[in-house]
Chains A and B, each alone.
Chain A
Amino acid sequence: MIRSRYVSIIAPLAIIFLGVLTLLAIPQTRPVVEGFLNGAFGGRNHFNLFSTLARFSILLGMAMSVLVSFRAGLLNIGGEGQLVLGGLTAALVGVYLPGPPLYVSVVALLAAMTAGASWAVLAGLLDRVAKVPLLIGSLLLNYPASYLASYFVSHPFRDVASGATQTHRIMTEARLPRFPGTILDYGILLIGATAILVIALEKTSVFGYRVRMQGYSYGFARTSGFPTGALYYRTLIISGMIAGMTGYTAVFGLNQRYIDGMLTIPLYTWTAIAAVLLAAIIPLITPVTAFFFAMLATGAIGMERSADIPREIGQIVQAVIVLYLAGVGGKMLSGGTKEDH
């Protein structure tokens, strides 16, 4: 059992490694690999590496949001709505709130976190009060959130002069500063600190212990006397807050404004879910898998440039990884077997 699990991890890695070697060995296919590596890490002054890191930052944020929920056994797959509303709120506060830059920035962060958390709690209320399963409720809430954001930036709050469906820019002083000479902003520090906090507290705090055990078995948590209701909502609030914060960093950092579809089209949330699953919902491994998927996406862009392979190959590979994982990982989310109940 344990041996077969190692095999199922090592075998595909070996195949990929051999595949890459083969590609490198054949002169015609060499540019594919070079393009991938260049896309993920290369460029002038390693510009692309910083693009990868910028994407990693957002993915890590969403992965932490997903991780907190999944670790508690809560199938909150509504991260997208929470992210979008966080980003939208941050943009509106950033553009329209008068005041000193630092004040605007902090208020925007708090507002974004509140927005994300509220959307998550709404899904929770649907689940606990109206008995709509969290998986479905949280997912359905993605759509009103995206459509609302889309409406706001294409009508009332649109930067009409720019010609695109987007808000005005955040004022320069309020933005998250960038590392000199790169497009990577200080948002990654915020997200990184959050990730460290999440990973550390999961292992060392009573709250983390209870959340983990509740995720393993809800019935166990209840009979052990854990405050299951409070744990449920607190977990969702934290999860939504992290998603909202991630939206804030994207708006105040990477994109400097809210652009229609900027948080949904790259499939950040679904990729983050894939990363958490690839890490088998183990906190310490999640940043690694999140980085892997960030690299996969930017590498695919590099391949598109060098070998004219459409960049969507990255998403296909990602999907195949998720499917493979499902095949070897068993019932990671549903828990238990469905037979013999």
Chain B
Amino acid sequence: MSGPATSGATIPAGSEPKAALRHRLAERGVDRTLLLVLPAALAVIALFCYPFLYGLQLSFQPAKGGALGAYRQFFSEPFSRKSIWATFSLALPASLINVGVSVPISYRMRREFRGKRLLLALLVVPITLGTVLTAEGILEFYGPAGWFNRTLHLLGLADSPMHLTMNYTGVLLSLIISGFPFAYLLTHSYLSGIHPSLEKAASTLGAGWWQRFRYITFPLLLPGLLTTFSLCFVLAFAVFPSAMMVGDPNGSTHVISIEAYQAALERFDYAQGSADAMIMTALMLVVLVAVAVLRSRLYRGSTGGKG
């Protein structure tokens, strides 16, 4: 069933036009092997595209207010409108911090050293902890009686416990704990794709470390960094469990995913919930497209990669 169609030669002369067509298609890569794509493509269409389009048309059929009623409702209500600001004010700083801190660290650690594999393996741990467990741990570790505040108190750095949970800071912390390893691993692998000989060449011409970083490594790294930023942003933009658990879900961390969830599954207003989900997707795609446009203006040639 999977063999490449090796037809053409054995086909009788009577069916020549058909055979020729098949031959021409096979030359462009269309043959029976392509049928193997079908199951997965159909599954994604049925399980992803259809529900998404269903949600899209549902969002134009709210109970009241005409076709655009649900969208008007979202933007006229200050509480829901502010969720856009809440989302961006969490996602942008979180992804900027994660990517920004990863660059110097992975630049320092780009060479091989003993225990590097262990370090990389340790960094995978927070990714797999999942947001729920991270949130649970943050609640207790950074809480008023947690170890973090105890340490601060012991060292005389704070008189009264710092309020790090149930507010904006808690959610930002959880985004950093789960997002930083991800950003670091990505930056690290992009950086290891830049051949060290490029920097050495600059070194022979008398460039200092800052010049080498600024004019050689950084421009080559920048496209990868933008991709990393996009992926981090996607993760942070969809923050949901930690915003509910360590945040202040009805105040400063009332992010757009909470707004959509509450509309759809607490108030059972599916039209409004779908509209919120569509607004969320649109906002995220705007940011991703902006980053992609920025990325397409950068140098995209070879980085002399070794791997």
Please indicate whether A and B come from the same complex rather than being unrelated chains. no
